[in-house]
Structure 1
């Protein structure tokens, strides 16, 4: 533990800066570093953390049971609350492809169950033996309707 004036003198001798890294700590923690380089590293770290928004995928089949559906729905909600986009896919095996309506029902149920925190960015599309839909999280967890009118309440 050094007095502030002595730490500043040491920093000036080395041609560096005295930077406070933990102001809440008792005693306050400071480092002798090149401030420009320190800021660059902090910005680089923040950019790396912001890049966490990724595309997640949750897969269903038309034979997915109710409990499994609810479990997968909980995972979708978890991904959306973390800010990730979610691709919901329904796979058809063998002759199941003739029951494409059941796959559409599953995607409609997922869209309805997550409408409070996500919007459908890409509607149901068929790609080979797969039916897909893309959900995008909405900031603040609320979907804003473009046609909705604002209502102010007077007290």
Structure 2
């Protein structure tokens, strides 16, 4: 800590030590500077950013589509795929597409989605309950958190 000093004096001090004068916090009043090796400073900053990026996890949403008149075997296949996605840690969007006059049977579609959620309830929780979006009814499932 050298305290508040003139810019020229600080630059001269840095030059004497064969180092750089780096503004660490340029928006502060007065600006905060450090005398250090700028190449090493940049390298450490990049390494810190890489480490932070490595620890981030992107949320992946997989989608499963069905119709109102889905058969039992088809539901079983979709459940198997849903379980695989949930075990990978992805969220799953389960959608029922209403075609033509099927819009009159939205209650049946809701029942199919709730039945689907019931079958995967041992590893999934309903994140967003069934809701109509245009000609589709959508429900989101998320993997259960084991504690």
Alignment partner of 1:63 is 2:69:
yes
Over the aligned positions, Cα root-mean-square deviation in angstroms equals: 2.3
Q: Which runs of 5+ in 1 are unaligned?
A: 1-33, 143-155
Q: Hey, which bits of structure 1, 4+ residues long, moved more than 2 A?
A: 34-48
Count of matched residue positions in the alignment of Structure 1 and Structure 2 = 106
**Aligned residue runs from structure 1 range 68-147, under 5 A:** 68-140=74-146
**Aligned residue runs from structure 1 range 4-15, under 5 A:** none
Tell me by how many angstroms 1:61 deviates.
0.3
> Hey, what's the Cα distance between the residues in 2 that align with 1:36 and 1:127?
48
Q: 2:54 aligns with which of 46, 50, 54?
A: 46
TM superposition score normalised by structure 1: 0.59
Point out the structure with max Rg over C-alpha.
2
TM superposition score normalised by structure 2: 0.62
Q: Secondary structure at the match of 1:139?
A: coil
Tell me by how many angstroms 1:85 deviates.
0.8
Q: Secondary structure at the match of 1:108?
A: helix
> Hey, what's the Cα distance between the residues in 1 that align with 2:77 and 2:117?
15
